[in-house]
Amino acid sequence: MKFLGKNTIKLDKELNELDKFVLDFIKILKKHTDYVIISGYVSLLFGRARGTEDIDVFIEEATKESFIKLYQEIEEKYWCLNSDEVNEIYSYLKDGLPIRVAIKDQAIPNFEIKFAKTLLAKEAFKDSVIVKTTLGELKISSLERQIAFKKYYLKSDKDLEDAKHIEKLFKENINYNKVKEYRITIENAKTKNR
């Protein structure tokens, strides 16, 4: 694994079934919208050994027509755990609620998909990182943003361990001034939401 510039990481690991599941689904998303993978799966992608039920993804807010086109392709292989009615699924997203999508006849693993509606969510697109794997590319939020969200927003034991894993693995590449900036942004956002 190595950086190929500031915002690109080449990952040479042998991909597991979860990675292949993610890459397969992302191929559909990329055709219709911009996306960024956030949270726990990022540390798993980089070798942290723990299980997960979901892959968290922000997508750009879409018109109903655009979303219907995306969903028509999704439902060829996948299903939505929230509803089987596309208008209702779109309403969930418009209301700021996540939807969960899994391979047909399965529930786990699944994608937890949200429209990027908040400032914090929208900013995850600005400094995203491309991870080049042997089977394709994925877009993740920046390592600094991952660390800050895990340590200062989510804060569970699992999230703190995820942050530690990323810090240890990429210690030479992490800009801790950015982590501090994100911490302040997160704390300000939390204060506004109270």
> Cα(11)–Cα(35) distance, rounded to whole angstroms?
19
Which residue is listed with tokens 């429209």?
A: 115
Closest CA to 103 of 85, 124, 77: 77
> Does residue 67 form part of some domain?
yes
> Cα(63)–Cα(74) distance, rounded to whole angstroms?
16
Strands 129-133 and 54-59: unpaired
Its domain, for residue 129, covers 2-143
> Cα(115)–Cα(24) distance, rounded to whole angstroms?
20
Number of domains making up the chain: 1
Res. 175 pLDDT band, cuts 50 70 90: very high
> Does residue 179 form part of some domain?
no
> Does residue 167 form part of some domain?
no
Q: Does the pLDDT of residue 7 top 80, yes or no?
A: yes
Residues 145/175, Cβ–Cβ less than 8 Å: no
| Structure-model confidence comparison of residues 186 and 142, the more confident one | 142
> What residues have CB less than 8 Å from 75, skipping those under 6 apart?
none
We report the CATH number of the domain holding residue 124 as 3.30.460
> Does residue 19 form part of some domain?
yes
Look over the chain and give the mean of its residue pLDDT values, rounded to a whole number.
Answer: 95
Does pTM surpass 0.85? Answer: yes
> Does residue 58 form part of some domain?
yes
> Cα(38)–Cα(113) distance, rounded to whole angstroms?
10
Closest CA to 16 of 111, 108, 134, 130: 134
> Does residue 184 form part of some domain?
no
Q: Does the pLDDT of residue 190 top 80, yes or no?
A: no
Res. 116 pLDDT band, cuts 50 70 90: very high
Q: Does the pLDDT of residue 194 top 60, yes or no?
A: no
The pLDDT value recorded for residue 193 is 62
> Does residue 173 form part of some domain?
no
What is the average per-residue pLDDT within 42-69? 96
The model's pLDDT over 17-44, given as tens digits with 9 standing for 90+, comes to 999 999 999 999 999 999 999 999 999 9
Res. 132 pLDDT band, cuts 50 70 90: very high
